[in-house]
Amino acid sequence: MTLAAALPAAGCLSTPAAPATPVSTANGKSVADKVETAMAEERSKPRFTGRLGDFLVVPQNGELPAEAKAFSCASTPVPVNDALKREELWSDAFANGGMGWSCPGKGVIAVNNEGGGRQAPGADGSAQIRSYFASLPLAVRRDAPRDRLELITVEGHPALLERPIPGYPYGKANLAVLERYPDGDRPGIAVFVEMAPSAEAAIKDAEEIMP
């Protein structure tokens, strides 16, 4: 597994599909109708790429800048054990569902909630990652128009929030937080929450991961 696979390339997770059988809503519109309307409006907007604060939004399948690959490697999974729990990137929020990822000569470079090679998402279904990064801006893969991308702060840390698609019943929120800036040889720390059910849930997950 490469770091690109462990990290928000996680932001590339696709939008959940609507049920095959239309379900009527109170106003007579089926869920399928609401989905079609919301997605038509979403598709009409150009995808944003470029710099936003200390973040660099790159296309979903776009090439990451060279600086973003500093911790890229054919990483090795590290199961939960006492040694992993002593790593700087460990968070008790991962509990026994956590999984570390190690690069040769660099040690553990990321921890997520994948757990034992099996999908073990957070209680709200989100993918959660805490990782090192080498330099600013922090590259984040996103597939969203500018009006769904918002610079916020989470417990005083700069963050980039991708809000769910308005009017889409199955929309998900994605969040990247700059927990620590790089300083000389000391890497920065970033927290990613992907596919959370709401912006509020994504923020809550990030707050629980950070010490």
- Using CA atoms, how far apart are residues 151 and 50, in angstroms rounded to an integer? 13
> 24-42: b or e for each residue (b if 16 or more CB lie within 10 Å)?
eeeeeeebeebbeebeeeb
The two tokens of residue 140 are 């984040």
Span 138-149, pLDDT tens digits: 999 999 999 999
Span 20-69, pLDDT tens digits: 444 555 566 788 888 899 999 999 999 999 999 999 999 988 888 777 77
- Using CA atoms, how far apart are residues 129 and 108, in angstroms rounded to an integer? 13
Q: Residue 65's pLDDT is what?
A: 79
Q: What are phi and psi of 142, to 5 degrees?
A: -145, 155
Given a cut of 60, is residue 167 above it in pLDDT? yes
Q: Residue 2's pLDDT is what?
A: 40
- Using CA atoms, how far apart are residues 32 and 95, in angstroms rounded to an integer? 38
Name the amino acid, one letter, at 146: R
Quick check: bond before 158 cis, omega within 30? no
For the chain, domain boundaries: 3-12+27-209
Q: Residue 27's pLDDT is what?
A: 61
Q: Provide the edge-to-edge strand list for the sheet that holds 55-58.
A: 50-52, 55-58, 138-141
Distances from the Cα of 123 to the Cαs of 10, 57, 93, 136, 191, in angstroms?
A: 17, 28, 11, 31, 17
- Using CA atoms, how far apart are residues 100 and 113, in angstroms rounded to an integer? 9
